Structure 1
């Protein structure tokens, strides 16, 4: 089985694979912490039942499983890249504190529920002190999740291949033309002034026919007429072709100028789609719509672009 087939299988199940990996990481860590905590309790001679450390660790892990998609979404909304790091970092500090509060409230609720099933009472302790203690740990965990998610996405992007525009050939500079030396004329005859020359109109950038894709040290060409739809993703746009996404560093508006306006249509502030691939428009109660493409994909269409899209399809 080729590398592209493995990639296709992974991309079709990407959401479930990601959930399974996070679950395995969190639940495996909770199990290991449960074992070591029980060993520490026995070594110190403390009086706790065996099930209690399991409740402490797994309640925390379950809440983190719920919060991780929110953290990843925050990373997409406020990406931590060099050019915007100073502006976005304070937002992530706020996100981390809100995440910590949600984590503490969720795990305490789960622990109280678990203790109640054993006819016991769970005491979280001094709330201000414990919130400060948990906050320090949770901010560190928040940062760790961002690092893991960023490294994972970088690997997937390298696996899929990153697209870039081909370098345009340099415009040839015309050779200077020489004019013959004028012969002497009588001083009484006026010399006619040279006619004013108009500046040449600026040439528009040609529409590219292909993109260069670099993938795990290899390079290949991606024809523009095989791109099915384009999605904005932070400082990148994702180019969809045959169930593969190829990231290209560009804004959606700038890349739209590079596309054939007769072939693509804007359907959302974050999406462009090839007009010929739209199979059906499915209106929603909110006034927006979903677009069903020939391969079964469904894309959002906001009401702002819906009427214009219908006119293009007529």
Structure 2
């Protein structure tokens, strides 16, 4: 079982279901921030028109859109931080300090970014831009930025929570309160999935592969990812080693879903799965994988 040709290392695959959602999220946040900036420009123009005052359209547009663009750039970091340090009922006390420091970092980076954009835009127009006095102007922005940052943290985590509810979260079956378990709990044949208030069972044999994601492992089942709160090492112990192989420290695969192995320069490989995904295989694990497959990959 081997690939058709050698290739160069590819980026780690992203589950198919995530790409459209990320594209929609990026479009939503871009429309929100840029639309708000355009609305602020329009409001200031209408105020100037009402008061019969001159309206510096270019300067106002630069100031509003520079702030929006700086916020959009920082929002990427906020999303990454939310994935790395998610807030849950049992973790928020330990991680709240990280988000407090993140609020200070947001303020400093947002002001620095928008001022830099403004200076560049005004310089291109042959003008000079002065932001204002350090303590007064910067701390004026501090209170606005803290409010914006707090609302974004809530929104990002609320969206992540809703996404988990819609997509579903997997749980290991627990021993029953009374009577013997219907299957060995130490090596379950099913996972319990909770989705939008309903519960159903997913057969372990239907798991195509699993990827570590922070404190979770994402189980891939028929085009859907079900986050399971467990470490990859513990999950590996719970699954049947005759069925599930570990080609990489962050991945487990169902051998029945493996279609081909593509060797790469450096001794690594890409494993092509039945659903079209490509899973990395480390140089150390490749010989063990081939041995587990019975030496069929030559």
Quickly name the TM-score band, shorter chain normalised: 0.7 to 0.9
Cα distance, 1:20 vs structure 2: 0.8
CA displacement 1:217-236 (0-9 Å, x = unmatched)? 33332111111112233443
Cα distance, 1:308 vs structure 2: 3.5
Give 1:198's aligned residue: none
Give 1:13's aligned residue: 20
Give 1:268's aligned residue: 248
Give 1:283's aligned residue: 264
**Residues 237, 9 of structure 1: CA spacing in aligned structure 2 closer, same or farther, 3 A cutoff?**
closer
CA displacement 1:106-163 (0-9 Å, x = unmatched)? 2112212222333322211113433333233223322222211111111121111222
Give 1:112's aligned residue: 119
Q: Pick the aligned partner of 2:46 from 39, 46, 62.
A: 39
**Residues 9, 105 of structure 1: CA spacing in aligned structure 2 closer, same or farther, 3 A cutoff?**
same
Partners of 2:105 and 2:276 in 1: how far apart? 38
Alignment of 1:55-204 (within 5 A): 55-169=62-176, 170-171=178-179
**Residues 310, 44 of structure 1: CA spacing in aligned structure 2 closer, same or farther, 3 A cutoff?**
farther
| Partner SS, residue 238 of structure 2 | coil
Larger relative contact order, structure 1 or 2 (CA cutoff 8 Å, min sep 6)? 2
**Residues 292, 138 of structure 1: CA spacing in aligned structure 2 closer, same or farther, 3 A cutoff?**
farther
**Residues 284, 85 of structure 1: CA spacing in aligned structure 2 closer, same or farther, 3 A cutoff?**
farther
Q: Pick the aligned partner of 2:187 from 191, 204, 207.
A: 207
Is 2:31 aligned against 1:51? no
Partners of 1:245 and 1:284 in 2: how far apart? 30
Partners of 2:63 and 2:292 in 1: how far apart? 58
Give 1:194's aligned residue: none
Give 1:26's aligned residue: 33
Q: Quick check: 1:59–1:110 contact (8 Å CA) kept in 2?
A: yes
TM-score after normalising by structure 2 = 0.79
Q: Quick check: 1:159–1:216 contact (8 Å CA) kept in 2?
A: yes
Cα distance, 1:289 vs structure 2: 5.0
| Partner SS, residue 262 of structure 1 | coil
Name the Cα RMSD after superposition: 2.9
Partners of 2:253 and 2:74 in 1: how far apart? 32
Give 1:181's aligned residue: none
Is 2:199 aligned against 1:219? yes
Is 2:265 aligned against 1:258? no
Structure 1: which 5+ runs fail to align? Answer: 1-7, 173-203
Partners of 2:85 and 2:174 in 1: how far apart? 31
Give 2:213's aligned residue: 233
> Greater Rg, structure 1 or structure 2?
1
**Residues 135, 271 of structure 1: CA spacing in aligned structure 2 closer, same or farther, 3 A cutoff?**
farther
| Partner SS, residue 257 of structure 1 | helix
Q: Quick check: 1:38–1:53 contact (8 Å CA) kept in 2?
A: no
TM-score after normalising by structure 1 = 0.76
Q: Pick the aligned partner of 2:223 from 215, 221, 243.
A: 243
Partners of 1:36 and 1:307 in 2: how far apart? 65
